[in-house]
Amino acid sequence: MNIILSVIFANIITIGFLIFSASKLPRSTYPIVLLTDLVFIGGVRLFPKILRAKRLEGKVDVSFKNTLIIGAGEAGILVLKELKKHPELGNVAIGFIDDDERKRGKLVSGVEVLGSRDNIPDIVKRFKVDEIILAMPAVSQKRSKIYIRNMFKNRC
């Protein structure tokens, strides 16, 4: 979507420049250039994804698992990128959990930060979470065990 908006914006600026510089191009040139830009610039990004999907088509029989990522920092973003890069794993990230108040409700790499660790039991029930990934490398082992113990206690 960002690519489409960027191409349209760049073409509007270019068309404006050409109109005000009194260029003698036919009006039909502008929509043709816009469509050509969209196809070539958007296609460069879209084509590899289509190829990867075709390659996986029919080879992988995966039932998708709703996955919650605890930690919306660099490690959480890295986990999200790996999940998106490898659809054969069958994990679909439904959201992040993070204790940073500033991140709540915001999108991190296109996925919403749903709440804090206190909200985990409610989020697990609401989104029918199948798997939770703890992506907080800076947290001590003791703290990690507390997270895991709380999840078991709440049947997450």
Confidence of residue 93 (pLDDT cuts 50, 70, 90): very high
What's the pLDDT score for residue 148? 79
Residue 6, pLDDT above cutoff 70 = yes
Residue 122, CA atoms < 13 Å, CB-side half-sphere:
7
Contact status, residue 101 vs residue 128, Cβ threshold 8 Å? no
Select the more confidently predicted residue: 32 or 27: 32
Residue 41, pLDDT above cutoff 90 = no
Using CA atoms, how far apart are residues 134 and 142, in angstroms rounded to an integer? 13
- Every domain of the chain with CATH number 3.40.50.720 lies at 65-153
One-letter identity of residue 148: I
Residue 143, CA atoms < 13 Å, CB-side half-sphere:
9
Mean pLDDT score, 90-95? 92
- To the question of domain 65-153 being in CATH 3.30.420.10, the answer is no
Confidence of residue 96 (pLDDT cuts 50, 70, 90): very high
Confidence of residue 95 (pLDDT cuts 50, 70, 90): very high
What's the pLDDT score for residue 58? 57
Residue with tokens 């999200």: 80
What's the pLDDT score for residue 149? 79
For 128, other C-beta atoms within 10 Å of its C-beta total 9
Residue with tokens 């196809």: 39
Q: Considering the chain, what is the average pLDDT of its residues?
A: 85
Q: pLDDT digits over 120-132, tens only? A: 889 999 999 999 9
Q: pLDDT digits over 43-59, tens only? A: 887 888 777 777 666 55
